Amino acid sequence: MIAIDDYRRVAPPGAVDMLLRLAERARGRRLLHLSGGRFGGGSAEMLHTLVPMMADLGLEATWEITGGDPGYYATVSALRAAVDGAERVLTDEALDHYVEMNRLNAKKIALDADLVLAHDVPPITLIEHRGAQGRWVWVCHSDASGAQRRAWTFLRPSVNQFDAAVFSLPKFGRRLGIPRYVIAPSIDPLSEKNRDLTSREVATVVRSLGVAQDRPILLQVAPLTPAEDPLGVVNAYRLVRKHYNVRLVLAGTSDADGESREMLAELREAASHDDGITVLELPPDAHLQINALQRAATIVLQKSVHEGFGLGAAEAMWKSKPVVGGFAGGLTQQIVYDVTGYTVHSVEGAAFRLRHLLNNPELIARMGAAGREHVRRSFLVTRHLTDYMALLIHLTR
Amino acid sequence: MTTPAPFQFTGCVEVRQALDHRARDERELLDRLEDVPAGSVFYHTHGYFLRHRPVTTAYGNDFAAWVAVHVRDQVLAERLAVINPFEIASLEDLREELMSTIHDHLLRLSTVPRVEFGEVFHFQQSHIVEVPLGAPVTTLAEFRAGLSEVDASAVYFHMVEARSRLGRRSGDFAEWIRDALTMPALAERIERIDAYMTNLERVRARVLSLLDSALEESPA
């Protein structure tokens, strides 16, 4: 069991004391998190860390989930994708069913708290059942700026009944009739994905994945989907390989949709002709493997072309790696250009920056160190929790 | 002899709020600057120092940083970067200085520089949550010990927020040292520290250095 004091050795000086003082101010206030499930990444992964930390700080923090039948989950899934900007068919019947299921959820969940944080799409319409007391905040973990019109037209009246909304970046939000606050996500430095590993542990895990550490490793950890541009990464690697004997490792989960399967086949085809390329399909809970790969890498890529606020860059920087990332989503916030890595707009740009770094190894060490300090100040869970506690105090004073 | 009034170190956390104003080019930046609340001008100028602790403050404020990085207009970026918010008496005067600088720059151009490959500028403002840190101190030695340990946001709160938004023009450190410890010379030296184009840790180090000198000079 990780305690709040354990973060003293990784957080910036004074950060834990700041949390303890904030907790004193917030003590006695009840906090309720609502989300659509306890498993997977995104808000669930974050709440698995934040809720126990809040309890350790003496706050009365609870986490409830909404549920329903397969039709409910199908509509929630479609709405999520539509808020992310994908085109989905949303029938009136499906949307009515979603509202009805949440009406039943409202009967089962005690919704009284001083601050209710409704995470993402599933609990949005629970706002219709709020009591007279307490403040309600909608926390949107995705980029809603390009939400499908039909989905947003349906959700917007409910969202406007909240007292405030939280987005990861100002550009992820949409015009609303309520205040929009900005809280960036974070990584947990003590989790399995980010905790310190010995070089022997790293070597053992990486070897078990079939990756040799005989040459510098270029790594991208990201879903093997078009949005993360793994084919662009392969093309950048090919430009670099003309000058440097390096390995490329592409590791991540894969989607079952046709476009992703086709792309995965292309990646495997590329790997079959080049023993320097390794494609690893990993399960969602391969945290130790990702940790070891990031630590074994020389340079980490995050060449997304469409991105929410994935934290792959922050995870790599926490392991003192320079990051070459796409100019998308939260990557421009995580990567400080020319200080912790580079944001690039093209395959050629990625190849140029990779060569630049490989040709100047002292830069790799310097940017890696700067990246770790940048993450320590801006993207650790201690900062995230501080922001939530400040919001709680601000909204309930 | 009366005991000096104690000094309470106070850290702070920003609750950031996105506004509906945004700019895609330098003309829009000028127009929106006229409309946004004064708190937004404060957030993007003085507030820059609270958020840019780990990396040196290359541009001094968010407007200059955006123009340099996203619009790629180094000329305007340089002109905006040298506007020192700590030397300007009020936020309205600061707003006017920023606007006249952009206006003057645009007069010399035939086209308005705009974002092509970068990001749109999103105006924000912040609400400060104050957090008392540690026990109150009453002597210069206790003050020195406390300052060396507190979260860097306390340096921001007492040196920037107090001066610029709370109307305590000397800053809390200088004010307490002058009024409670009756050490006007030391207070004046602390008040003269230039907090612009540096970071909070360097400001802290400069204050500590002045305190160390004063403690060495003072009778045991």
Q: Is A177 on the interface with B (CB under 8 A)?
A: no
Q: Is A377 on the interface with B (CB under 8 A)?
A: yes
* B219 pLDDT more than 80: no
Q: What is the CA radius of gyration of chain B?
A: 19
Strand order through the sheet with B121-132: A60-65, A30-35, A115-119, A135-140, A164-167, A180-182, B10-23, B121-132
- Nearest-angstrom CA–CA distance, B82 and A294: 40
Looking at the structure, tell me whether residues A19 and A163 fall in a common domain: yes
Q: Which among B13, B50, B200 is the top mutation candidate for probing chain A, defined by the most A β-carbons within 10 Å of its own β-carbon?
A: B13
pLDDT at A253: 87
Q: Is B129 on the interface with A (CB under 8 A)?
A: yes
- The mean pLDDT of B194-201, rounded to a whole number, is 82
Comparing alpha-carbon positions, the chain A residue that sits nearest to B118 is A327
Q: Is B58 on the interface with A (CB under 8 A)?
A: no
| Residue B105 CA to its chain's centroid (Å) | 25
Q: Contact A171/B122, CB-based, under 8 Å?
A: yes
Strand order through the sheet with A341-344: A277-281, A247-252, A217-221, A299-302, A323-326, A341-344
Comparing alpha-carbon positions, the chain A residue that sits nearest to B9 is A18
Chain B, 155 to 194: residues with Cβ < 8 Å from chain A are: none
pLDDT at B220: 54
The segment with the largest mean pLDDT, out of A13-27, A35-49, A360-374, is A360-374
Q: Which helix (H) or strand (E) holds B35?
A: helix B26-35
- The mean pLDDT of A356-376, rounded to a whole number, is 96
Tens digits of residue pLDDT in B147-193? 998 988 999 999 989 988 888 888 999 999 999 999 999 999 999 99
Q: Is B146 on the interface with A (CB under 8 A)?
A: no
Between chain A and chain B, the number of residue pairs with CB atoms below 8 A apart is: 78
* A319 pLDDT more than 70: yes
| Token pair for A326 | 């796409």
Comparing alpha-carbon positions, the chain A residue that sits nearest to B23 is A171
Nearest CA to B183 out of B163, B157, B213, B156 is that of: B213
CATH number of the domain within which A168 lies = 3.40.50.2000
Comparing alpha-carbon positions, the chain B residue that sits nearest to A394 is B129
By Cβ distance, the residue of A170, A389, A393 closest to B18 is A170
pLDDT at A261: 84
Q: Contact A13/B53, CB-based, under 8 Å?
A: no
pLDDT at B57: 55
- The mean pLDDT of A72-97, rounded to a whole number, is 94
Q: Contact A18/B151, CB-based, under 8 Å?
A: yes
pLDDT at A279: 95
Contact residues on chain B for A337, CB-CB shorter than 8 A: 69
Which of the four pLDDT bands, split at 50, 70 and 90, describes residue B89? confident
Which of the four pLDDT bands, split at 50, 70 and 90, describes residue B56? low
Looking at the structure, tell me whether residues A63 and A164 fall in a common domain: yes
pLDDT at A199: 96
Q: Which helix (H) or strand (E) holds B127?
A: strand B121-132
Does A191 fall in a domain? no
Does A194 fall in a domain? no
Chain B, 63 to 82: residues with Cβ < 8 Å from chain A are: 69
Contact A249, A243 (CB under 8 A): no
Tens digits of residue pLDDT in A322-358? 999 999 889 988 999 899 999 999 999 999 999 999 9
* Domain count of the fold of chain A: 2
Q: Contact A15/B151, CB-based, under 8 Å?
A: yes
Give A54 to chain B, closest Cα distance, Å: 17
- Nearest-angstrom CA–CA distance, A248 and A171: 32
Tens digits of residue pLDDT in A242-284? 999 999 999 998 877 777 788 889 999 999 999 999 999 999 8
Which of the four pLDDT bands, split at 50, 70 and 90, describes residue A160? very high
Q: Contact A387/B119, CB-based, under 8 Å?
A: no
- The mean pLDDT of A303-317, rounded to a whole number, is 90
pLDDT at A369: 96
| Token pair for A15 | 């950060």
Q: Contact B131/A376, CB-based, under 8 Å?
A: no
Does A192 fall in a domain? no
Looking at the structure, tell me whether residues A8 and A99 fall in a common domain: yes
Q: Is B119 on the interface with A (CB under 8 A)?
A: yes
| Token pair for A374 | 């940048």
Looking at the structure, tell me whether residues A206 and A171 fall in a common domain: no
Q: Contact A21/B132, CB-based, under 8 Å?
A: yes
By Cβ distance, the residue of B129, B150, B151 closest to A393 is B129
Q: What is the pTM of this model?
A: 0.92
Q: Contact A21/B133, CB-based, under 8 Å?
A: yes
pLDDT > 90: percent of chain A: 82
pLDDT at B1: 56
Tens digits of residue pLDDT in B97-153? 999 999 999 999 999 999 998 899 999 999 999 999 989 999 999 999 999 989 889
Does A269 fall in a domain? yes
Domain that includes residue A15, residue range = 4-186+380-396
By Cβ distance, the residue of B16, B129, B150 closest to A181 is B16
Does A193 fall in a domain? no
Q: Is A27 on the interface with B (CB under 8 A)?
A: no
Q: What is the ipTM score, two decimals? A: 0.90
